[in-house]
Structure 1
Amino acid sequence: MSSEIEHRPYVLPAVIEPLVRRHAGDAAFYWAQHDSSAHSCRLDLARLLHFDRLLQAHLDGLEVAGATGWQLAFEELARWRGPGEVFVCAYLALAAGDGERLREVWLQLQLDPERGLRGLISALAWVGTEQALPWVSHWLEASQNSALQVAALRTAALGGATLLKTAQVAFEPQCQNEDARVRAAAARLGARLPRRLAQPVLLKLLEDVDPVVRAEAAIALGGQEAAAPPVLWQVCAEWIGRCAELDGWDRFQAERRLARWLRHLGGQLPPGHVALPRLLEQLPPRLGLLLALHHADPAHLPWVAAQMTAPETSRLAGWVWSALSGVQLEPAGLTLPPRLPDEETEQPVSLAVEDQDAGLPEPDPAAVQAWMAMHQASLPTWAPGLLGRALTPDILQQMLTGAPQALRWIAARRLGRPFFNNRAPALRQFALLHKLSASAGASS
């Protein structure tokens, strides 16, 4: 017998399970980054494209892993049941055209549909019309499940002409659905439909018994319909008290909804609205800052500056102040010096800030007040205005291309049609911007 060691080539397994499981977890993580990006103070379209490429790379890795990729992604869904895990599994099922897998996703999702439904809607929007259309059509025509009807209506509201045409037939009947969640989703769809068709139905929904339905109808009608802003204002005022009574996940969801309504309310109200200062004082400060930003009236600058004194709002207030005034804090010398580490722990001094504020400069409230007193005459007075400029169509188009996501969202809503979704995949946004630019060049 030979004493020599037999050398055999090492053959890598076809699928490396730890790597595939990492794909599943990272895909859910990067989806969450994308999903939360629409109102980011720091993320722009170029950075969003970077996140999207990472997300797609992990999704591709799961697809290449075949059955193992699906199995490990589904294990993550069964464990966490979060919207990110729902998105990943729904995307894999939709991309493969596998109805059985999509049914398995639904069985998990219905255990907590309020939490995970946005993941399903996002997956339907992500894969595109060809894969989403059969399911949207089926759920609108044949499904008796309210959550699936909501998913179909919300997906159609985010989609192009084909999805809108398919869902248009269901619009009026679904606005009369006994489930308020379906009526609210139908109202969202109404914002994308021809005004002659949607307006009479939406006006009736302004009197709906459910406040969420009334709010969504008011948003869909927009500020051009005189009856809409007062209804949206009233619902927001009532919802403030509702949020205060909740805690945990329920409060998070309620405040998320209120934030959405306030963004739209800010865009609907005319400049100089006499009652707006009172509403700003009634709101939690962070939500008040959000309303002031979307109202885009520099008259709110003193109130915004006053919010810089509280640690939990200082950085966001500084950013909103810059967005309204056009004055950047750091170049103007209006920031505090970096905090020194705590001597006992050698850790940086902790600040009570939200995740979305991370990386924003910390303003110096006294310096900002002094600067405002000295430069009062040079502060912008026109409204609406952002970044120190009036919101003309040209300025809004520039913001849509190069500003942070929070300002791009405002620009998209103030530009009006064509509908522009700054939460869509970045490549799709770039393609639409190119199309809009070419169309503007051809018409000039």
Structure 2
Amino acid sequence: MNLISRILDQVVDHHAEEAAFLWLLREGAVAAPHYSLVDLAKLDKRVEAHLDGLRIAGDAGWAACVEQLEYREPGEVFAAAVLALESGEAGRIRRVYEAVGAAPEAQRGLVSAFGWVDRAWWRGEIRMLLAAEAPFWRRLGLAAAASQGVDPGRPLLDALGADDPALCGTALRVAARLGRTDLLPSVQARLASDDETVRFSAAWAATLLGDRATAPRVALAFVEAAHPRWAIRALGVALRALAPQEGQQYLEHLARQPQRLRQAVVASGILGDPSNVPWLLAQMEIAEIARVAGEAFTLITGVDLAYEELEGEWPEGFEAGPPENPEDETVAMDADEDLPWPEATRVTDWWSRHRATLQPGRRYLLGHPLSPEHLQWVLCRGLQRHRVAAALERRLLAPGEPLFEVRARGEIQQQRLGSQPGVR
């Protein structure tokens, strides 16, 4: 092999590695507190640039992806799946499926690839997945179809009655995302399931599909159980669906329990009632929850702590996230890593000067009352976590509408949102 060939191979390998790495970065960005839609779209363009390099390289690009598939990681699966689906070649697609079958946790990359490429590339593949005998592949087919808002039809109905908990859970969530209010009775029938995956998915889905009586309370049971995976998601739908007075009572219930103080702080941001701000200001004095209290304060008031110079310094002696001692096995990540640290005194002073602009007892999101126009603005201009909140709020106002997908390609989201409002 001559020098030019070696250099070209290195360039192609670089494209494969960077496409996988940037996809992993993107996976974190879609739920990050410091990424906007504009930021996400820029990141997506970087991903697409490396994918384009692989496309241009032809067979060499595919060969680089095959080599990366040996790692069986979601990012590598994503890059290979995009090329395979766009090629339409059965052998390439089968190679990706084999990698996912050997490492099921890598399925995230495959589902993301289905959401990335044009629908025209994968219609036949989705039909085959939905018709598969194994629940794993049927579940993947449901998720892949929903990633672009495609209703799977009869396979979705069949999956709602499936005995396999993972398949049924996926079907419940897909029904909710698509706004299938006609399926609400079938979803509600799963609220009493013995399987917690099915029960949570049913509670989340039924709430979004219009159940304001039973489903939110089933969801809150996961908060009471402090479920590590679903407690915060349960709060996110249940408190937005309950009557404001009942939601406030539940917040006070959480706040009386020291071990649930963090959940109470999150709940205050979800409720959006400025009457809870004085309590939130007090929580900013507690290092362990100061940053999430700052986030809740912003969710209610709309103030940018960094822009308004309301950030403080990291408290001396406070440690969060993985310890520096390599022998310490308690390596939980810092969940608040990308949140600003509020300076409680300055934030309190800001609030004293602006509190009259917000009416106690009314719900706010980023400083404005909930309205379709404001929720549209947040979807266009908010940060990702704010956009998640706006998507849920908008959906609860119209249960029969699809849930806006804030994880979709940035360019596609911008097209769906149309012309973007100016900055307030």
Q: Give TM-score scaled by structure 2 length.
A: 0.83
- Sequence identity percentage: 30
Aligned to 2:174: 189
> 1:338, CA displacement in angstroms?
8.1
Aligned to 1:251: none
Question: Per the alignment, do residues 176 and 305 of structure 1 end up closer, same or farther by CA in structure 2, a change over 3 Å counting?
Answer: same
Aligned to 1:352: 320
Aligned to 1:101: 92
Q: 1:363-414: CA deviations, max 9, x gaps?
A: 1124434555676555542432122211111111111111111111221222
SS at match of 1:13: helix
Which among 158, 162, 169 is matched to residue 173 of structure 1? 158
Q: 1:312-366: CA deviations, max 9, x gaps?
A: 54334323212212333345553325899xxxxxxxx996366775564321124
Aligned to 2:418: 434
Write the letter of the residue equivalent to 1:298: P
Aligned to 2:81: 90
Q: Does 1:279 align with 2:258?
A: no
CA distance in 1, matches of 2:112, 2:286: 36
CA distance in 1, matches of 2:416, 2:307: 34
Question: Per the alignment, do residues 359 and 204 of structure 1 end up closer, same or farther by CA in structure 2, a change over 3 Å counting?
Answer: closer
Which ranges in structure 2 are unaligned for 5 or more consecutive residues?
A: 322-332, 396-400
Write the letter of the residue equivalent to 1:186: A
Aligned residues: 399
Aligned to 2:327: none
Write the letter of the residue equivalent to 1:95: E
Question: Per the alignment, do residues 89 and 236 of structure 1 end up closer, same or farther by CA in structure 2, a change over 3 Å counting?
Answer: farther
CA distance in 1, matches of 2:135, 2:216: 28
> 1:179, CA displacement in angstroms?
0.8
Which ranges in structure 1 are unaligned for 5 or more consecutive residues?
A: 1-9, 244-254, 341-348, 438-444
Which among 101, 104, 126 is matched to residue 110 of structure 1? 101
Q: Between Structure 1 and Structure 2, whose CA radius of gyration is higher? A: 1
Maintained 8 Å contact 1:83/1:117: yes
Q: Does 1:222 align with 2:214?
A: no
> 1:435, CA displacement in angstroms?
7.8
Aligned to 1:148: 137
CA distance in 2, matches of 1:412, 1:124: 22
SS at match of 2:143: helix
Which among 225, 239, 242 is matched to residue 269 of structure 1? 242
> 1:429, CA displacement in angstroms?
0.9
Write the letter of the residue equivalent to 1:210: D
> 1:215, CA displacement in angstroms?
1.6
> 1:213, CA displacement in angstroms?
1.1
Aligned to 1:325: 301
Aligned to 1:234: 221
Q: 1:167-218: CA deviations, max 9, x gaps?
A: 1211222112121000001101221456453112111111222111122122
Q: Does 1:209 align with 2:194?
A: yes
Aligned to 1:68: 60
Q: Give TM-score scaled by structure 1 length.
A: 0.80
SS at match of 1:198: helix
Q: 1:285-317: CA deviations, max 9, x gaps?
A: 655544433333334434433443344543343
Write the letter of the residue equivalent to 2:115: A
Once the two structures are superposed, the pairs formed by residues 307-326 of structure 1 within 5 Å of their partners are: 307-326=283-302
Write the letter of the residue equivalent to 1:334: L
SS at match of 1:327: coil
Once the two structures are superposed, the pairs formed by residues 261-410 of structure 1 within 5 Å of their partners are: 261-272=234-245, 273=247, 274-279=249-254, 281=257, 288-330=264-306, 332-336=308-312, 352=320, 357=336, 360-369=339-348, 372=351, 377-410=356-389
Maintained 8 Å contact 2:270/2:296: no
Question: Per the alignment, do residues 207 and 374 of structure 1 end up closer, same or farther by CA in structure 2, a change over 3 Å counting?
Answer: same
Maintained 8 Å contact 1:24/1:59: yes
Deviates more, 1:278-287 or 1:93-102: 278-287
Question: Per the alignment, do residues 29 and 287 of structure 1 end up closer, same or farther by CA in structure 2, a change over 3 Å counting?
Answer: farther
SS at match of 2:122: helix
Maintained 8 Å contact 1:259/1:287: yes
Write the letter of the residue equivalent to 1:184: G
Which among 36, 39, 52 is matched to residue 47 of structure 1? 39
Higher relative contact order (CA 8 A, sep 6+): 2
RMSD in angstroms over aligned alpha carbons?
3.0
CA distance in 1, matches of 2:13, 2:232: 35
Once the two structures are superposed, the pairs formed by residues 130-149 of structure 1 within 5 Å of their partners are: 130-141=120-131, 143-149=132-138
Write the letter of the residue equivalent to 2:84: A
CA distance in 1, matches of 2:62, 2:270: 42
CA distance in 2, matches of 1:18, 1:110: 29
Deviates more, 1:375-384 or 1:48-57: 375-384
Maintained 8 Å contact 1:37/1:423: no
CA distance in 2, matches of 1:262, 1:28: 33
Question: Per the alignment, do residues 154 and 236 of structure 1 end up closer, same or farther by CA in structure 2, a change over 3 Å counting?
Answer: farther
Maintained 8 Å contact 1:154/1:188: no
SS at match of 1:396: helix
CA distance in 2, matches of 1:104, 1:207: 40
Aligned to 1:346: none
CA distance in 2, matches of 1:338, 1:189: 41
CA distance in 2, matches of 1:436, 1:358: 30
CA distance in 2, matches of 1:94, 1:287: 42
CA distance in 2, matches of 1:126, 1:418: 19
> 1:428, CA displacement in angstroms?
0.8
Deviates more, 1:126-135 or 1:43-52: 126-135
Maintained 8 Å contact 1:38/1:405: yes
CA distance in 1, matches of 2:364, 2:236: 15
Question: Per the alignment, do residues 228 and 334 of structure 1 end up closer, same or farther by CA in structure 2, a change over 3 Å counting?
Answer: same
Aligned to 1:5: none
